[in-house]
Structure 1
C-alpha cells in the first residue's frame, strides 16, 4: 500500500494587525486652530505695516549751516514713519530747495522742517565775527545756531598790575551763534561764528585779535 507524503504545516490566512485610531482631544484641536489664526493675523499686521510707508526727503550730501539747499543735496526714501517723527514729505521737496540749512546736515539723515529756514543766518545790518575758543573756554552746554551770547572784553595780561584796569563793569557786545565747529585735532580749539551788529562787529574783531575777548551764554530771554 502506497503511503501518502506527509504534509508540512500550511500557514492559514494572516489576520492584519488592528490599528487603533488615536482619539482626538477637542482642546488640542482648538489650540491648534487658535495658533493658526494668530499666525495669520500676525502676517496680516506685518503686511499692513510694510505697506504703510511714507515718502520723505533725505540728506545725501554734507550741508553746512547757512548753505542754500540744492536738489543735489537731497533725495527721497520710502520708510515706515512714526507719527512722532517730523520729516519733510517727498511732495514738499521742491519747497525746501533754495532754503538755507539752519543746522549742519549729514548724509543719510531725514530732513526735518526745523532744519531749514528761509532767513539768512546773517541778517541785514549784521556782521559775522569768528571767535576761537580754547578747550577751557568752551561751555559744557552745546552751542547751537540761534543761541544768544555776550562777548566780554577782559583786561589784557598784566594790564591790571599796571593800574590800567578799572572797577567799572567790563564792556560787552550782544551776539548770536551762527555756527560752531568741532574741536580741532591736537589743540581742541572750537571756532564759533557769532553775528553782531555792524557797529559792534569791528569792536569784537579787535578784541579777538588782542586776545581780550571771552564769550558767555546769555539767558534764554536774551538778558
Structure 2
C-alpha cells in the first residue's frame, strides 16, 4: 500500500523517506491515511490500537445512525442504549438518562456500496464490551461523538 515519489521537501516537513520505508512496514496506522499523501513517522505505531483492559466492538451503522462528521481513529465516542422500536422509552418516562458506554474509535470503514452501512471498530473497557455487543445485536445502540476534550 506504500509507494515512492520524488519530491522536494522543506526540511520542516517530517515525512518517511523512501530509503526508510522498511522502518514502517508491518506497523499499524495510528490515524486515517489518505491515498496519495505523504507519510509522517507519527502516523504509524507499533503499539496495538486496542490497549490492555479494552475490547474491540464492531458496530455496523446505517447512514442515519452515524454523524456526517468523518469518524477518525482516536476520536472519543459514547455508545448510547436506546429502546427497541415499539418499546417504551424508559429514559424519557422515568426521567433517568439512557445508559451509555464510553469508547474510542479505532477504525471506521467506508460506506458499503448499496447499503451505505459503515462498520466502526470501537474500543471499550473489557467490562463494557459484552454489553455494547449485546446492544449492537439487539439494534438498540447509537453512536454519539464526544466533545474534543472528552467532555
TM range (shorter): 0.7 to 0.9
Deviations, residues 29-79 of structure 1 (Å, cap 9, x unaligned): xxxxxxxxxxxxxxxxxxxxxxxxxxxxxxxx2xxxxxxxxxxxx454432
Separation (CA, whole Å) in 1 of partners of 2:89 and 2:26: 54
Separation (CA, whole Å) in 2 of partners of 1:199 and 1:180: 22
SS in 2 for 1:144: coil
Give the number of the structure with larger relative contact order, counting CA–CA contacts within 8 Å between residues 6 or more apart: 2
Give the TM-score normalised by structure 2. 0.85
What is the deviation of 1:150?
0.2
Which residue in 2 is equivalent to 1:152? 80
What is the deviation of 1:96?
2.6
User: Which protein has the bigger helix share?
Assistant: 1
Structure 1 residues 84 and 139: alpha-carbon distance in aligned structure 2, compared to 1, 3 A threshold: farther
Structure 1 residues 199 and 99: alpha-carbon distance in aligned structure 2, compared to 1, 3 A threshold: same
CA RMSD of aligned residues (A): 2.4
Separation (CA, whole Å) in 1 of partners of 2:32 and 2:7: 23
What is the deviation of 1:171?
0.5
What is the deviation of 1:166?
3.1
Which residue in 1 is equivalent to 2:132? 204
Q: How does 1:67-216 map to 2 (within 5 A)?
A: 74=2, 76-83=4-11, 85-105=13-33, 108-160=36-88, 166-216=94-144
Q: How does 1:54-65 map to 2 (within 5 A)?
A: 61=1
Give the TM-score normalised by structure 1. 0.60
Which one has the largest radius of gyration? 1
Q: 5+ unaligned residues in a row in structure 2: which ranges?
A: none
